[in-house]
Amino acid sequence: MNEPFLRPIEKPKGLIKNLVYSTLRRQFGKVLTPVKVHLARLPNAFGMFYGKIATLDKKLQLPRETVFLIREHVARINVCLFCTDIGRAFVIKESMNEAKFDALDEYKTSSVFSDAERAALDYATGLTRDKQVSEGAFNRLASYYSEREICEIVWLVASEHLYNLTNIGLNIHSDMLCDISRKRSLASAFSPADK
């Protein structure tokens, strides 16, 4: 069953929620299913908290691509289809190396990943799958990343779990945002205004 466990709320109550819906339509071309299913039923402060996560990610010192690789990797391990979809949509929008994301399942052996990225992904794997990491995995991570960056990696794994478990718990699947992002990228590449 690919339908959410709770019916999406298409017309929310309240000015703030209506503004959020309008903003999402402009940004993504649609209102995101987690917003219609989960956040539409909660006080506005919950939506602001989820939105704050994306704002905080912009304050990280880690390279943006590393941030998205870690988030995508955790979402894949947790099998959160919405999160892998929206993550890829942002990769497309920000013109990141899609081949690297395509090779994510082979990060241990693929030449497109640096040793530092492998260490971060190994650490994220242990923390996600086993809810613990070995001292060896931590030491390897620490050989590439500062203490702040290590804390940022922990933040990424933990906050991605919040997103993942919200969507998994309510049976929220992909919104096909990758397709929307690709269409928008193609449209802007061939728009007459750019010529």
What local confidence, expressed as pLDDT, does residue 191 receive? 55
Q: Cα separations (Å) of 170 from 8, 60, 146, 167? A: 11, 29, 37, 5
131 secondary structure, DSSP code:
S
- Please tell me the predicted confidence (pLDDT) of residue 178: 84
Picking from 95, 135, 77, 142, the residue whose alpha carbon sits closest to that of residue 116 is: 142
pLDDT confidence of residue 186: 59
Provide the token pair at 184. 């928008």
**78-107 mean pLDDT:** 95
Yes or no: say if 40 and 17 are a contact pair by the CB < 8 Å rule. yes
Domains recognised in the chain with CATH numbers: 7-50 (no CATH), 60-176 (1.20.1290.10)
Per residue in 117-176, pLDDT (tens digit) is 999 999 999 999 999 999 999 999 999 999 999 999 999 999 999 999 999 999 999 999
10 Å CB burial of residue 22 (0-12, 13-18, 19+) is exposed
Q: Is the Cβ–Cβ distance between 175 and 8 less than 8 Å? A: no
pLDDT in tens, 37-69: 999 999 999 999 999 999 999 999 999 999 999
Of 24, 76, 69, 74, the residue nearest 50 (C-alpha):
24
Contact 188, 20 (CB under 8 A): no
Residue 194 has pLDDT above 60, yes or no: no
- Quote the tokens at residue 87: 């993550």
